[in-house]
Amino acid sequence: MSVKEFSYNGPGHATAQLRHLTIRQLRSLAALSAKGSVTAASGHLGLTQPAVTQQLRQLQDLAGLPLVQRTGDGMLLTEAGKEVLALAERVEAAIMDCQGALDLLAGRTGGSVHLGAVSTAKYFVPHAIAAFSKRYPKIEIKLTIGNRKEIREAMHGYDLDFAVMGRPPADVTVDVRQLGRNPHIIVARKGHWLENDSGLNLTDLVHETFLTREPGSGTRTLMEGMFQKSDLEPIVGMEMSSNETIKQAVIAGLGIAFISAHTVAHELAEGRLVVLDVAGLPIVRQWYVIRRSDKVLLPPAQAMFDFLGSEGSNYLPEIPDFGAR
């Protein structure tokens, strides 16, 4: 199948014609974008190849612009195609919201909420979910955990109702509720040779080995920015995708770590980790509950969004008072 098989009538009639598009046409375009070929798209949709070809041709004719182009990597969307794909995503989200509302009205369910959270937030978000579920036991909650990059990308779509994370994404229009403070510190194992030193500077740490999160995590980005401001570069020993692994590696003496204090609250309280007294630390960021401004929240999701915004800070781990250091 070649691009020229998708004829179109020019842009003049597009505005009036788009109102006649169908869900099947939009789903054909979405499947083509995801699978890269008409053959794969037809298998995904359970339709014949000619049927998918017809749906795409009709949609492109309604749009009045080419929506796809053939490349060495398969069939890719043009800029016009990407605009129509964004419409398809909004329509699918609206359908799911409508189904959820109908289920609520029919008494078939208490509703559902899809919450995303960056991995650092997993140390308190489950406690907040437990408290919310005691008030609303019929509401089903799905929790997706990822690093900052993964949750930010998820916010580009409409699958998540909202997310708990630090700095809001700059390329999505969002509504934000502040949840609480998120201090970042440098920790070492108990007995580290710098444990009792006060007033350390970053220059005192340039020979230390840092154990860090993977590129794309908010903690890693914050650490790199901290060193860059001082024209320094840390020695990175190992990159790890889990805060739990980082904590155990620090306790084992493999290095030190720049990390959210909320992830090490228990280890600090138990004395297995210590906070190094470094000038300029802690760096305090904020936790936020964030949703797309154009995402319509059904009553269950709105209730949880409001709950986290007003009471979420109650479930943050208790951490030492670092004072003015």
Tell me: the pLDDT tens digits for 254-296?
999 999 999 999 999 999 999 999 999 999 999 999 999 998 8
Domain boundary among 61, 84, 107: 84
Same domain, 292 and 170: yes
> Looking at the chain, how many residues does it have?
325
- Asked, for residue 167, whether it belongs to a domain, the answer is yes
Closest CA to 24 of 112, 91, 76, 107: 91
Question: Which residues are 216's β-sheet partners?
Answer: none
The alpha-carbon radius of gyration of the chain (Å, integer) is 25
Same domain, 187 and 173: no
**pLDDT band of 14, cuts 50, 70, 90:** low
Same domain, 160 and 302: yes
Same domain, 142 and 290: yes
Distances (CA, A) of 144 to 48, 130, 151, 213: 34, 15, 9, 18
- Asked, for residue 324, whether it belongs to a domain, the answer is no
Please report the pLDDT score of residue 2 as a whole number: 42
Q: What is the C-alpha to C-alpha distance for residues 236 and 35, in angstroms, rounded to an integer?
A: 38
- Asked, for residue 320, whether it belongs to a domain, the answer is no
Mean pLDDT of 234-241: 90
7 has a pLDDT exceeding 70: no
Please report the pLDDT score of residue 142 as a whole number: 95
Q: What is the C-alpha to C-alpha distance for residues 125 and 304, in angstroms, rounded to an integer?
A: 12
Q: What is the C-alpha to C-alpha distance for residues 273 and 266, in angstroms, rounded to an integer?
A: 9
Phi, psi torsion values for 293, nearest 5 degrees: -65, -30
Same domain, 242 and 197: yes
Domain extent for 23: 17-84
Same domain, 98 and 148: yes
- Asked, for residue 107, whether it belongs to a domain, the answer is yes
Please report the pLDDT score of residue 299 as a whole number: 87
How would you classify the pairing of strands 273-275 and 174-189? Answer: antiparallel
Distances (CA, A) of 87 to 57, 155, 189: 17, 16, 52
Same domain, 26 and 101: no
15 has a pLDDT exceeding 90: no
- Asked, for residue 3, whether it belongs to a domain, the answer is no
Same domain, 302 and 279: no
Same domain, 186 and 175: no
Same domain, 241 and 302: no
Amino acid code (one letter) for 77:
L
| This model's pTM is above 0.75 | no
Residue environment code for 26-49, b if the CB has 16+ CB neighbours within 10 A, otherwise e: bbbbbbbbebebbebbbebbebee
CATH number at residue 237: 3.40.190.10
- Asked, for residue 4, whether it belongs to a domain, the answer is no
Give the count of domains, the chain.
3
Same domain, 95 and 174: yes
- Asked, for residue 45, whether it belongs to a domain, the answer is yes
Q: What is the C-alpha to C-alpha distance for residues 32 and 45, in angstroms, rounded to an integer?
A: 10
Cβ 56 vs Cβ 38: under 8 Å: yes
Same domain, 197 and 231: yes
- Asked, for residue 325, whether it belongs to a domain, the answer is no
What would the pLDDT profile of 95-134 be if each residue is shown by its tens digit? Answer: 888 887 777 766 566 788 999 999 999 999 999 999 999 9
